[in-house]
Amino acid sequence: MKYVIVLGDGMADRPIESLGGKTPIEVAETPTLDEIAPKSELGLLHTIPEGMKPGSDTANLSVLGYDPKKYYTGRSPLEALSIGVPMKDTDVALRCNIVTLTEDETLGFEDQTILDHSSGEISTEDCAVLLKAVKEVLEDATFQFYVGTSYRHCLIWDKGSVVDLAAPHDHLGSKIGEFLPKDEVLREMMRKSYEILKDHPMNLERKKKGLNPANCCWFWGAGTKPTLSSFEEKTGKKGVMISAVDLLKGIAIGSSMKVEIVEGANGGLDTNYEGKADAALKALLDDGYDFAYIHVEAPDEMGHQGSIEKKIKAIHYLDTRVIARVKAGLEKAGVDYRMAVLPDHPTPIEIRTHSSEPVPYLIYDSTKEESHSYHYSEREAALTGIDLSAGPMLIERLLGEENQCL
């Protein structure tokens, strides 16, 4: 038996008036999900423990069977693992987004507005140039910057503190003053980064092209060095992670899963969907892996952008270019398999950030067919009456009762 989780990050949503009260999942063309949902277990899953913030960090740990209450030490440390940052036990890691702020010269820094948490999904190559300019001024023995992926980078604070910091995607369209760090050093570093970046030649060129300037470092997600147990020892399954996002790669490295790098996978709407599916099939069919976790960031990014059309398209691509391809490949190989499809959390268009509602999940087993009339959606998952109260219950359900992952 082979096992697959296809996770559409932030795919779940709330009913949208302009869609006739439907969600993007309900509107998107999803022929593969339409085919397998009536033959699958369908229900709701609570991925975010009570009292914890709804993030991809806590939610994906939860889906993989790791109780965030026990294992979570912060988002950025997991990303630091992915990019090879040598963390000491006394280090604190912080996410360093390169974001877009307004550039109103009549206002001070604290009165600027945050427009875009991803600077128009800027490329890693361009962002590395900008981060280099910041490093040259702000880096010292206490603070070290590391290049990550796209707009997502890392700051290591030697003998630092795990301070409370606001996530930029939670405050799009707001003046930044009340959301800046209370720590004066971090606050001043953000202000200086804005002065360094807003007139950088690359940003001047981006503005000429009508692109969002990547003009400020935004620190958040502070945490200490993580300690995850081995996924294989925990479940008895040899696993592979397929994601373009450093957070997911870091979770995989921390849990001793293999990380498969897919050329052209970038976390955006134009990611290499087929490449991700093919990497999973190769790992499962040729390389002896039992379990593949295919993470697609695009629905979440489109939710943060507030784009209904693009979120619908991302869900369609997930169905037709990932789920369908994996299903066809496994069936052609003649192997038995179970496949779960779900989001980690909702990213509702109306709020453009994460929320804590339970998410719809589906588990398809090629060896046995259920028979019902449900389709895969938030609404119909709620109608089934299956409501799993903790995220790690999903992987128990997928792998079977003999695997106790809680």
- Asked whether the predicted pLDDT for residue 272 surpasses 50, the reply is yes
Instruction: Name the one residue in this structure whose structure tokens are 């980690």.
Output: 344
Q: Is residue 83 part of a domain?
A: no
Please check the confidence at residue 406 and state whether its pLDDT lies above 60: no
The pLDDT of residue 402: 42
What is the predicted pLDDT for the residue at 312? 98
Burial of 133 (0-12, 13-18, 19+ CB in 10 A): middle
Domain edge (last residue) among 203, 223, 243: 223
Q: What angle do CA 307, 310, 314 make, to 5 degrees?
A: 135
Taking only the tens place, the pLDDT of each residue in 31-80 is 999 999 999 999 999 999 999 999 999 999 999 999 999 998 888 998 89
Residues 239 and 295 placed together within one structural domain of the fold:
yes
Give me the sign of the Cα torsion angle 98, 62, 388, 284: positive
User: Domain holding 246: CATH number?
Assistant: 3.40.720.10
Same domain, 241 and 365: yes
Which tens digits make up the pLDDT trace of 156-165?
999 999 999 9
pLDDT at 82: 87
80 belongs to a structural domain? no
User: Residue 150 domain-assigned?
Assistant: yes
- Cβ atoms of 44 and 387 within 8 Å: the answer is yes
Distance set, CA 84 to CA 124, 128, 353 (Å) = 16, 16, 28
395 and 284 housed in the same domain: yes
Q: Is residue 81 part of a domain?
A: no
pLDDT at residue number 337:
98
Q: What is d(CA 299, CA 285) in angstroms, rounded to the nearest whole number?
A: 28
Q: Per residue in 151-184, is it b (16+ CB within 10 Å) or e — as a string?
A: bbbbbbbeebeeeebbbbbbbbeeebeebbbebe
Q: How many structural domains does the chain have? A: 2
Are residues 239 and 381 both part of a single domain?
yes
Same domain flag for 341 and 232: yes
235, 327: one domain: yes
Domain membership of residue 108 (yes or no) is yes
Residue 97 shares a structural domain with residue 215: yes
pLDDT at 118: 94
pLDDT at position 136 over 70: yes
Q: What is the DSSP string of 312-341?
A: HHHHHHIIIIIIHHHHHHHHHHT--EEEEE
Same domain, 42 and 166: no
The answer on pLDDT for 404 being more than 60 is: no
pLDDT at 240: 98
Question: DSSP assignment of 132-198, as one string?
Answer: HHHHHHH--SSEEEEEEETTEEEEEETT--------GGGSTTSBSGGGS-SSHHHHHHHHHHHHHHT
Domain boundary among 175, 200, 223: 223
Do 338 and 247 share a structural domain?
A: yes
**How far apart (Å, rounded) are the C-alpha atoms in residues 248 and 273?**
16
Of all residues in the chain, what percent carry a pLDDT higher than 70?
Answer: 99
In a domain, 207, yes or no: yes
Tell me the per-residue pLDDT of 177-227, one tens digit each, with 9 for 90 and over.
999 999 999 999 999 999 999 999 999 999 999 999 999 999 999 999 888
**Residue given tokens 């496994």 in the structure block:** 330
Same domain, 309 and 193: no
pLDDT at 403: 42
The structure tokens listed for 183 are 């720590």
Give residue 350's domain range: 2-72+228-399
Looking at residues 171-178, what average pLDDT do you find?
96
Q: Taking 50 as the threshold, does the pLDDT of residue 145 lie above it? A: yes
* β-strands 291-296, 239-242 pairing: parallel
Could you tell me if residue 380 is inside a domain?
A: yes
Distance CA 79, CA 66 (A): 17
Do 395 and 269 share a domain, yes or no? yes
Look at residue 405 and tell me whether its pLDDT is greater than 60: no
Confidence of residue 3 (pLDDT cuts 50, 70, 90): very high
